[in-house]
Amino acid sequence: MDDTMFLNVLKTTVENHGCTIIDVDLENHIVNLDGSDDAVADCARAISELVS
């Protein structure tokens, strides 16, 4: 999957779990999210499943 496709899937996944993306560092595999603690935890789990 290329970076553009990954970012689109990431954005959709994050928004479906009630978060927004603050910034992304693809080189260092860092995604900063905004949302409630529960939503961020749900987003993190979903992102983990996405990349594994």
- Residue 52 confidence (pLDDT): 86
Q: What is each CA distance from 23 to 7, 19, in whole angstroms?
A: 11, 12
Q: How do residues 1-51 score in pLDDT, each as one tens digit?
A: 888 999 999 999 999 999 999 999 999 999 999 999 999 999 999 999 988
Into how many domains does the chain fold?
Answer: 1
The whole domain housing 45 covers 3-51
pTM for the full predicted model: 0.84
Sequence-separated (6 or more) residues with CB below 8 Å from residue 14: 20, 21, 31, 33, 43, 46, 47
